[in-house]
Amino acid sequence: MTQTVLVFLDPTHPDGRVEDAGRPTLSATDLGVTRGDGIFETLLVLDGHVRKLPAHLSRLGSSARMLELAIPGHEAWERAIATALAEYQRTVGVLDEVVVRLVATRGVEGEHVPTCWVAAFAPAQSARRQREEGVDAILLDRGYDSDLAERAPWLLLGAKTLSYAVNMAALRYAHAQGADDVIFTSSDGRVLEGPTSTVLVAHAETDDGGRITAKRLVTPQLDSGILPGTSQGALFAAAKEAGWELGYGPLEPEDLFDADALWLISSVRLLTPVNHLDGKAIGEPALVKALTEELAGLFDAIA
């Protein structure tokens, strides 16, 4: 059975209140349960180091503002995370690879007090396997155009909310088709994001000896209603320092098929190569491997 540690943010417990994850801890009338009215962030801890914590807390705050949700400040979350990791290490014994999830809901209906907690648990075995072996993905229509976020801010596109039922349905559909993951497109033909990841495209130029002479890394435009990726942001900062040219779309499906390498990047799976898209192989294996190893090294160094 997977060990999960739960720590609730509580004004009467400055460092967080540890609760037994095997016992009832959340009200059945909490609006996060009944309406998906809440936000979350998922972080990865490797060898005891929390990766990209400031970026995750910043995005949590941004999502909270979009939902007009009052949540505790960064320091309260940091203390609760430290408590969760200490308790996880005490019960499990190691912090080699731990997933930490931060959740804030609207709270129990009628009480107007948010419910906030930190959960620490081991990653799914599939996360490491996909990171190492890559995935096969399919393109799916998200059902709206790339300008919708600007026209309809109340749809909360770009906020990391608990309303993930559509994303999970897309993944189940992909699995039924024999694929591992999904890349969403807009109704006007723009590449958006994965259900739980950001899309990255690479193009490389090589000389007659096969040596890479120029590299360009591109991600979809952030104003198209996608979630700003903390991993994408960290990797872009590192790649820029390493001499990569960077770009922000717009991307169309043909750009993905023409790429020298294509990845889905997220906080838990990290940099995951897309081996096939709609059944078509992406890139030359040797070049994909070289580019993946370089970017993974840059990402590890900065994250």
Six token digits for residue 113: 């007090």
Domain 4-123 has CATH 3.30.470.10: yes
Mean of pLDDT over the chain: 94
- In the predicted structure, residue 18 carries a pLDDT above the cut 60: yes
Contact 248, 110 (CB under 8 A): no
How many degrees, rounded to 5, is the angle at CA 227 between CA 249 and CA 195?
95
- Using DSSP's 3-state secondary structure scheme, residue 53 falls into helix
Residue 1's pLDDT is what?
A: 47
Beta-carbon count within 10 A of 174 CB = 21
Domain 128-302 class, CATH top level = alpha beta
pLDDT tens track for 28-73: 999 999 999 999 999 999 999 999 999 999 999 999 999 999 999 9
The model's pTM? 0.92
Would you give the distance in Å from CA 141 to the centre of its chain?
20
Strand-pairing partners, residue 100, are: 43, 120
Residue 214's pLDDT is what?
A: 81
Average pLDDT over residues 275-303: 93
Instruction: Residue 263: name the closest of 125, 129, 99, 131 by CA.
Output: 131
The alpha carbon torsion through 157, 170, 43, 275 (nearest 10 deg) reads -120
Instruction: Residue 67: name the closest of 162, 192, 150 by CA.
Output: 162
Would you give the distance in Å from CA 117 to the centre of its chain?
19
pLDDT tens track for 165-221: 999 999 999 999 999 999 999 999 999 999 999 999 999 987 777 787 789 999 999
Q: What is the sign, positive or negative, of the torsion defined by CA atoms of 127, 56, 112, 18? A: positive
- Rounded Cα–Cα distance for residues 97 and 269 (Å): 11
Average pLDDT over residues 98-123: 96
Instruction: Residue 117: name the closest of 88, 81, 91 by CA.
Output: 81
Where are the domain boundaries for CATH 3.30.470.10 in the chain?
A: 4-123
Would you give the distance in Å from CA 30 to the centre of its chain?
25
